[in-house]
């Protein structure tokens, strides 16, 4: 399949920051984020190698590229709270320790799973079209996104077991990650249907 200029631009942008951060994390001997670099490479290799079949919308490719950049930045830039992922954006709730809302990490989780839910929603609609209940299709997309969310948390658990001085966090961090993953996925799906209800021709 011939790529569009926009698709090529997204791929080149993603490759540029991935190579740059790979060099940074290799130099810093940060094995946790070296592994995440590999995950980003795998995701985009899979996406671009199947574009002819999935017809993945450009906005999803761009949104995932932006997530990859935020993810790479999250473990490298320092803030007053530690690395960027630990940055406490606003104290909507402070229960002490890790039980804090809102942090950059939580924002990225919500954002990512909104995009993941939209990705699955596109794949399901691409396959089923309007032949099935859209409520059922949306629910399946939500469950699929939460399945990926669980896989992500398993990978983070493996990092806890194998990588010394990792930045994964404890129980409250895990629970809040899952809450924001669910909230982001739900908002992504609801936003999609609300948008298309208001713009039925698109």
Query: Based on the domain organization, do 39 and 131 belong to the same domain?
Result: no
Query: Based on the domain organization, do 112 and 201 belong to the same domain?
Result: yes
Last residue of a domain, one of 43, 76, 109: 76
Q: Please check the confidence at residue 164 and state whether its pLDDT lies above 70.
A: no
| pTM, 2 dp | 0.91
Q: Please check the confidence at residue 108 and state whether its pLDDT lies above 90.
A: yes
So what's the pLDDT on residue 166? Answer: 57
Tokens in use for 58?
Answer: 């450009």
Query: Based on the domain organization, do 107 and 40 belong to the same domain?
Result: no
Q: Please check the confidence at residue 136 and state whether its pLDDT lies above 60.
A: yes
Residue with tokens 């309007």: 130
Count CB-CB contacts under 10 A for residue 196.
12
Identify the band that residue 98 occupies on the pLDDT scale cut at 50, 70 and 90.
confident
pLDDT digits (tens, 9 = 90+) for 178-190: 999 999 999 999 9
In sequence order, what DSSP letters do the residues of 16-50 get, joined into one string?
HHHHHHHHHHHHTT-HHHHHHHHHHHHHHHHHHHT
Last residue of a domain, one of 32, 57, 76: 76
Residue with tokens 């530690």: 82
So what's the pLDDT on residue 89? Answer: 95
Query: Based on the domain organization, do 134 and 186 belong to the same domain?
Result: yes
Give the residue numbers spanning the domain of 110.
79-202
Number of domains in the chain: 2
CA dist 81 and 28 (Å) reads: 20
Helices and strands of the chain, counted as H and E runs: 7, 4
């Amino acid at each position: 399949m011939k790529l569009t200029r926009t698709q090529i631009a997204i791929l080149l942008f993603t490759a540029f920051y991935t190579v740059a951060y790979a060099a940074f994390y290799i130099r810093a001997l940060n094995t946790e984020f070296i592994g995440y670099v590999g995950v980003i490479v795998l995701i985009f290799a899979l996406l671009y190698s199947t574009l002819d079949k999935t017809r993945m919308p450009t906005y999803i490719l761009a949104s995932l590229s932006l997530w990859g950049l935020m993810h790479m930045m999250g473990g490298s830039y320092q803030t007053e709270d530690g690395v960027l992922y630990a940055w406490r954006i606003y104290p909507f709730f402070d229960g002490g320790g890790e039980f804090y809302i809102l942090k950059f990490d939580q924002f990225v989780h919500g954002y990512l799973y909104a995009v993941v839910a939209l990705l699955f929603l596109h794949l399901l609609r691409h396959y089923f079209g309007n032949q099935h209940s859209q409520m059922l299709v949306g629910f399946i997309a939500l469950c699929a996104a939460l399945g990926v969310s669980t896989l992500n948390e398993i990978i983070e658990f493996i990092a806890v077991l194998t990588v010394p001085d990792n930045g994964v966090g404890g129980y409250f961090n895990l629970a809040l990650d899952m809450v924001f993953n669910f909230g982001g996925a739900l908002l992504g799906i609801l936003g999609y249907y609300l948008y298309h209800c208001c713009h039925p021709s698109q």
